[in-house]
Structure 1
Amino acid sequence: MRPTARADELRQPLRQALEALTQAVTPSGPFDPAQSHQTWRVAASDYGETSILLGALAGLRSAAPNARMAIVALNPQALASQAEQAHIDLAFHISSEAPLQLRRRSLFNESYVLAARTGHPALQGTLTLAQFCKLDHVIVSPDNGGFHGVTDTALAARGLARRVALSVPHFLFLEAVLVNTDLVAMVPSRLVRHSTALQVVAPPLEIPGFEMLMLWHDRVHRDPSHQWLREHIVRCL
């Protein structure tokens, strides 16, 4: 059996095409952050920015000085589609609301503490549940302007209610409110554990905490640069 003239003509261009295909599907070499000009897009709330990303930035800038990161506002309802369509590479969100179709890694479990300005008279001694309910509270609203959260659900189970005087959209503003007023707040402990302007005590009732996850899509699961970023964040935590 011998090749036809047409087969001989195809030999070289097919060899080149197969070599190009082989290079295209062969896994790339190890990711070198020092030489990378990667741009990562990460979705996080202000809580995720403070408790997760802030601690990773210095090491990221040192290891990958030419890389860039865009932190975008967390939109829980759009997370899955944003990740699938490459609008974001990573997201940080609580496990109870995380899309099931995204890959996940548990980062930590968070608990709530009662915080107020340093020297607040209500936090100087043992705080009873009745006294807790009579304090004026500020809440970061989970439903944008609401006055009900997990603390209110726990109180309602006991037939109790607290006084929520102020609802705010962000944790950053919450700290400023606590420092400058006599309002108190139930806050995730990681946000206030290093604050010198706030006093923190255990609340007089148990409030369910939450699990924080790192989320990403299958399309970047095996990408060396994304694997490096995920591991870097975990190491910093």
Structure 2
Amino acid sequence: MNVDRFDLNLLIYLDILLRERSVTKAAQSLGITQPAMSNGLKRLRELFDDPILVRTSDGMSATERAQALQPMVRNILAEVDAAVQPTGEFQSLTSGRVFRIMVSDYAEATLVPAIVKRLRTEAPGVILDFLTPSDVTYKDVEQGKVDMAINRFDELPQSFHQKTLWRDGFACLVNPANPLLEGFNLEKYLVANHIWVSKTGMGVGTGVNPSKDKAVQLGWVDEALAETGHKRNISVFTRHYQMPALLAMNNDLVATLPTKVAKMQAQSGALKMVDAPFHIPAFELKMAWSPLLHHNPPHQWMRALITEESEKLARV
């Protein structure tokens, strides 16, 4: 193949086709006609001597060769995007840019207040649009529709850039009047009734069935407890980290939370924070973003700000 005569648009077509797995949707995404996209797929098949997309029972699926090409194509397009980005520094004081950031409820409770406070003086015109994990797909992040995702991720697409913001463990919040508090240990933990807070991932969540769901489906706390051969009595299920501080005011309920959240919610003195009476592995809060935005000056500025605030909170 003569590289000098290679049409860069074909890589854009390939990138969109592999994300959409549909000629029609790819055409709509690029704003071209379906015949034009079909012709692009035909040229790609000739160029790589590979079908690229094949029809299966699950719809159109990428071939093994196409799957191998996808991260390479994404990196090439990201480098091209970087080359055409304006080189001037981001003027934060006068900018009115909108940053769309997906945050878990945990990140919202711990990191977001620090970000907002910092922006009030350094970038008062910047607008923050915080989205929940159920509002966003990996495709939204990959395409740059969402600036970044801040969450605890089990896995991320290979094309994403990522940074660990901090590691956190777990602690318990208990009403000081709770009779189980004195000499709090595993035996008393198992006698108590508990408040469960979800491990938030990407995509729309579903309800919990305590009688059927396994410990691994209930999250890190219950999976770690299952390693000791035990199961806790869960009375309340919630998806919001602001709720346990209110619910734990009941003197027969215990909330097991990430330590940073527990510390914040115990500051008023109405609740007491104690160590979890069994080992729960720590987790990492990560920031992930698309390679399409990696070299974007406003994006670089925001990532640096979030990193700096995270480093402060990591020491708390």
Query: Once superposed, what is the RMSD of the aligned Cα atoms?
Result: 2.0
1:68 aligns with 2:127: yes
TM-score (norm 2): 0.62
> Partner residue of 2:142?
84
Q: CA deviation at 1:144?
A: 4.2
* Equivalences, count: 212
Q: Quick one: structure 1 residues 45 and 178, their matched pair in 2 at CA, closer, same or farther if it must change by over 3 Å?
A: same
> Partner residue of 2:89?
30
Aligned mates of 1:64, 1:32 — CA distance in 2:
9
Q: Which amino acid aligns with 1:236?
A: E
Are the counterparts in 1 of residues 159 and 291 from structure 2 also a CA contact under 8 Å? no
Q: CA deviation at 1:204?
A: 1.2
1:136 aligns with 2:209: no
Considering only CA atoms, is the larger Rg found in Structure 1 or Structure 2? Answer: 1
1:145 aligns with 2:215: no
1:6-51 deviation digits (Å, cap 9, x = unpaired): xxxxxxxxxxxxxxxxxx9363211110111111000012111111
1:157 aligns with 2:262: no
TM-score (norm 1): 0.82
Q: Which amino acid aligns with 2:175?
A: R
For residue 188 of structure 1, the aligned residue among 258, 266, 281 is 258
Q: CA deviation at 1:121?
A: 2.5
For residue 184 of structure 2, the aligned residue among 110, 120, 127 is 127
Q: Quick one: structure 1 residues 52 and 176, their matched pair in 2 at CA, closer, same or farther if it must change by over 3 Å?
A: same
> Partner residue of 1:53?
112
Aligned mates of 1:39, 1:210 — CA distance in 2:
30
Q: Quick one: structure 1 residues 117 and 89, their matched pair in 2 at CA, closer, same or farther if it must change by over 3 Å?
A: same
1:139-195 deviation digits (Å, cap 9, x = unpaired): 013464324332222222222222111111211222211124531011011112133
1:216-236 deviation digits (Å, cap 9, x = unpaired): 101111111111111111111
Q: Which amino acid aligns with 1:110?
A: D
Unpaired runs of 5+ in structure 2? 1-82, 200-204, 211-217, 311-316
Instruction: Give me the identity figure in percent.
Output: 28
Q: CA deviation at 1:108?
A: 0.4
Are the counterparts in 1 of residues 177 and 251 from structure 2 also a CA contact under 8 Å? no
Unpaired runs of 5+ in structure 1? 1-23
Q: Quick one: structure 1 residues 154 and 25, their matched pair in 2 at CA, closer, same or farther if it must change by over 3 Å?
A: closer
> Partner residue of 1:40?
99
Aligned mates of 1:206, 1:114 — CA distance in 2:
12
> Partner residue of 1:234?
307
Aligned mates of 2:119, 2:102 — CA distance in 1:
17
> Partner residue of 2:13?
none
Greater RCO between the two (CA within 8 Å, min separation 6)?
A: 1
Q: Quick one: structure 1 residues 183 and 144, their matched pair in 2 at CA, closer, same or farther if it must change by over 3 Å?
A: farther
Q: CA deviation at 1:111?
A: 0.4
Aligned mates of 1:120, 1:188 — CA distance in 2:
20
Aligned mates of 1:97, 1:117 — CA distance in 2:
36
